[in-house]
Amino acid sequence: MWLRATVGARQRGVTLIEMLVTLMLIALLAAAVVPGLGEARGAAALRSAAGELKGLMFRCRAHAVMSGRASAVVFERRPDSSWRCYVAEDGDGDGIRRDDLDALRDPVVGEVLDLGIGGAGLGILKGEYVPDPSGRGRLRGDLDDPVRAGRGDIITFSPRGTATPSSVYLTDYHARMRVLRIYGSTGRVICRVWRSGWAEWREAGM
């Protein structure tokens, strides 16, 4: 009887130790996996935002060519530092201008795309050595301005398919960035990707 009770106690003790070890292993695995999941979500959000913006630019170029009117992707920064952008058409023949947009002389002809401050959006990582996508050293200029399209944050596409030479930067606010580069003579839009620690940008599939 005493032997049976002792064996039962030992079995319960081993079971308890095994449970504690198992719980510790689960906690360690969770600690290792959760940051990886967060990083994967950030990468997916960045890829999605860049893809949506690239699609909007394609539609803007197509509208300009088909309508015979200059059309533009217009960027506007909100007070909370998030951005919105939309496609507008030149309604009075003098190009897409802020005063014409405000007066509704240049009408909005495409959907509004919100690029928020959560997950991923327009921006340039701070405190990082971000290389210039052109391969000329470090990215310069106003690092608070992710839309490099001359004055006005307006990327215009002509009926001939040409465009304002531009670069638009997006980030996951953590370690990754993407840039959409628009080539003036062709209106072609390409995407490149960069992450913290890389010496240069790389071509990215959407």
pLDDT digits (tens, 9 = 90+) for 160-169: 999 999 999 9
pTM more than 0.75: yes
Q: Which fold is adopted by the domain 49-203?
A: minor pseudopilin epsh fold (3.55.40)
Residue that is written with structure tokens 């394609």 in the block:
58
pLDDT at res. 81? 84
pLDDT at res. 32? 52
pLDDT at res. 90? 97
pLDDT at res. 205? 63
Q: Please, are residues 123 and 173 in contact by the beta-carbon 8 Å criterion?
A: yes
Strands (E), the chain: 71-77, 83-89, 113-115, 121-122, 147-148, 154-157, 166-171, 176-182, 189-195, 202-203
pLDDT at res. 118? 67
Residue 12 has φ and ψ, to the nearest 5°, of -65, -40
Taking phi over 0 as left and psi of -120 to 50 as alpha, with beta for the rest, 136 belongs to beta
pLDDT digits (tens, 9 = 90+) for 41-54: 878 999 999 999 99
The segments of the chain whose pLDDT lies below 50 read 2-3, 5-7, 9, 33-34
pLDDT at res. 149? 93
